[in-house]
Amino acid sequence: MSTFTYMMRLIGYRKSWYIANAVLWTIIYLMPIFPGLLTKAFFDSLVPDQPAEFGVGLIVMLLIAAALARSVFIWFGFITDVQFRFRIGMLIRRNLLEHVLKEPGAKAIPCSPGEGISYFRDDVDQTEEAVSWSVDVFGMTCFAAVSCYILIGIDAGMTLLVFLPLVLVVIAAQLATARLQKYREASREATSKVTGAISEMFGNVQAIQVAGAEGRVVDRFRGLGENRRRTMLKDKLMTEMLDSIFSNTVNIGTGLILLLAGQKMRGGEFTVGDFALFVYYLTFVTQFISNFGKFLTYFKQMGVALRRLTFMLQGAPTSVLTAHRALGLERKGAVIDHAVSPGGESSSSVVGSGLGGSAGVSSFEQLELLEATGLTYRYPETGRGIEDIMLRLPRGSFTVVTGPIGSGKTTLARVLLGLLPKDGGIVQWNGRMVKGELGDFFIPPRSAYTAQVPRLYSDSLRENILLGQPDDEVKLDRALRTAVMEDDLAKFPDGLETTIGPRGVKLSGGQAQRTAAARMLVRESELFVFDDLSSALDVETEEKLWDRLFGERGDATCLVISHRKAALARADHIIVLQDGKIEAEGTAEALLESSDSFRKLWHGDLEQSETQ
Ligand SMILES: Nc1ncnc2c1ncn2[C@@H]1O[C@H](COP(=O)(O)OP(=O)(O)OP(=O)(O)O)[C@@H](O)[C@H]1O
């Protein structure tokens, strides 16, 4: 999509607001024509021997009325501008967010969260700015046309002589903005590096101290600071220089008019009023030229923003960004678009799943058998992943996926649950293929997942576990007990209401993992997927957790990634992965007989747990 089409599609989203905005701002920009003519009339009336056309009092009153009228129009103009800008900005953010939420969870954005925020904030702002400025450019062009028509009527030669050099000066200055852009980008880049380094330093104080790397870190920071100083200096210098050119252009123009008009005035061909009118319009025309240049810059930046936002779409068509969708700003009767809710319980994903359910999760089918065939995924960056994986999880079974570090265990869980987009393979729920996005299908109450690294929020423990789920004390108590959290809760000052810090830093590794497990268990799903839950638990706590899970939810189907004996010993079926492929599978006894890798994992773990 070209930048122009992008702009037109956004304008088309709220055409009436745009037209209202354009009409108002065109009137606002045209309004100075009138005080200009009044000023001319006033000065012309000062000439002796000539009867005054209007009294001074009347002219002053008309000037005040014109200023007041313009203020009122500007007030309305800002309302239409904000309303329009807000709507197009929100449309892009809404569409982008919807897209991000629909993407497989582990690949939702192709960049770091910090960069993601900058796409949502800065690139959308850039787009808003350019579309909004198109209105100003139109209004200013109208003013320039009308004023030039009037001035040419007074003295065509002088109009040309005064404005042509000005146009050239401003165009030259505008061309220099390309360089300014370069400096601006460099200074932004340098600033974000400094900010990134500060946040890294704060996040890794302990690691830096332990490694005795304070000196090196400070040196690196000093280097980044120095680079920022240099780039900022260039940026500032260039900005100030251009600003001074623009602001002094009016003075240069006035000087030119004085030089040229003096002669003509002596001859009587040019009146004081004409002179006043030239000087009056000069400010606005110069403003128009520099603002036109500004608009061109914004338009270019909008093109860059479009490219960056398209990158966020990860291959989806650009039209996704401008799809005309409701923003739901109405206070009453706002419609909730269920398609937006990616993992919400009211999501209508069954419809798209091909399972034939009519709507809603209430019509979901209890799991009898989950099968995956030929499941394949390769990370584009490393070419590693999983290949041709077969899985069979009957109701109530406990399947453990094990294997050495980097063998593809987490990848397998994520591809199965649709958190990564599979390259190949099919998944069947009760013998029928799951169509559409696996990520839309594998949500509570079908499945729940505890990731290897628990993500906790700066909120109460209760909110961290419920995460939007309706507060049900019985379910919550059961989940907390199954996740073996009773001793921890007794130690927390405010029990479930205890606020846990950003990313759960006030919790120990084991507590954070058990909180994540409670979050999963409170969702009472058919299938539970645990990714290396036991890595931060001691053997006794892990034993308790599995015992309780079996006691509470014997019918639940579990897929557990682990290399710990506590899990392996309970498994009905074990899958051993090696380099992304299934190397062996069976029961623990059978694998102890047949698989070297499994024996190593089993004994390695045994040695570890015996030393604990
Ligand atoms: N985001 C990623 N981008 C590129 N390659 C990745 C990514 N994540 C994992 N890999 C690679 O894919 C392979 C499988 O990784 P995966 O995390 O699934 O292994 P794992 O068996 O779960 O390891 P661990 O036991 O350490 O959790 C590894 O070789 C890893 O380097």
Q: Which residues does ligand 1 sit against, CB inside 6 Å?
A: 379, 381-382, 384-385, 403, 405-411, 452
CA of 91 to the centre of ligand 1 (A): 36
CA of 380 to the centre of ligand 1 (A): 12
> Percent of the chain scored above 70 by pLDDT?
88
Q: How far is CA 212 from the centre of its chain?
A: 37
Q: Which two tokens stand for residue 426?
A: 């099919």
> Percent of the chain scored above 90 by pLDDT?
23
Question: What one-character DSSP code corresponds to residue 364?
Answer: P
Distance CA(189)–CA(162), nearest Å, equals: 41
Residue 192 scores a pLDDT above 80: no
Burial (0-12, 13-18, 19+ Cβ within 10 Å), 306:
buried
Domain covering 365-611 in this structure, CATH number: 3.40.50.300
Residue nearest to atom 17 of ligand 1 (CA): 410
pTM of this structure: 0.67
Domain map (residue ranges) of the chain: 3-322, 365-611
CA of 376 to the centre of ligand 1 (A): 14
Residue 494 scores a pLDDT above 70: yes
Distance CA(172)–CA(593), nearest Å, equals: 82
Q: Which two tokens stand for residue 92?
A: 């892009």
**By the 8 A CB rule, do 148 and 163 touch?**
yes
Torsion of CA 584, 588, 594, 597, to 10 degrees: 60
Q: Which two tokens stand for residue 284?
A: 């606005």
Residue 492 scores a pLDDT above 60: yes
Q: Which two tokens stand for residue 546?
A: 């599995």
The residue ranking higher by pLDDT, 7 or 262, is: 7
452 Cα nearest atom in ligand 1: 27
Confidence class of residue 504 from pLDDT cuts 50, 70 and 90?
low
CA of 384 to the centre of ligand 1 (A): 7
Check residue 560 and give its pLDDT.
92
202-216, 314-328, 335-349, 384-398: range with lowest mean pLDDT: 335-349
CATH superfamily, with its number, for domain 3-322: ABC transporter type 1, transmembrane domain (1.20.1560.10)
Distance CA(190)–CA(182), nearest Å, equals: 12
Angle (deg, nearest 10), helices 15-30 and 56-102: 150
Which element (helix H / strand E) includes 344? none
Q: Where are the alpha helices (DSSP H) in 46-55?
A: none
Residue 357 scores a pLDDT above 50: no
380 Cα nearest atom in ligand 1: 4
Residue nearest to atom 7 of ligand 1 (CA): 379
The residue ranking higher by pLDDT, 490 or 53, is: 490
Residue nearest to atom 16 of ligand 1 (CA): 408
Residue 467: other Cβ atoms inside 10 A: 15
Residue nearest to atom 3 of ligand 1 (CA): 379
CA of 580 to the centre of ligand 1 (A): 9
Check residue 605 and give its pLDDT.
56
The residue ranking higher by pLDDT, 338 or 93, is: 93
Confidence class of residue 330 from pLDDT cuts 50, 70 and 90?
low
Q: Which backbone phi and psi does 28 adopt, to 5 degrees?
A: -60, -45
For 270-314, the pLDDT digits (tens) are 788 888 888 888 778 777 777 777 787 778 778 878 888 888 888
Q: Could you tell me which of 535, 525, 516 has the C-alpha nearest to residue 467?
A: 516
Angle (deg, nearest 10), helices 56-102 and 33-45: 160
Q: Which two tokens stand for residue 176?
A: 């220099």
Q: Which backbone phi and psi does 380 adopt, to 5 degrees?
A: -60, -30
For 5-47, the pLDDT digits (tens) are 999 999 999 999 999 999 999 999 999 888 888 888 888 777 6
For 407-429, the pLDDT digits (tens) are 999 999 999 988 888 899 999 98
412 Cα nearest atom in ligand 1: 18
Confidence class of residue 344 from pLDDT cuts 50, 70 and 90?
very low
Torsion of CA 171, 173, 177, 180, to 10 degrees: 170
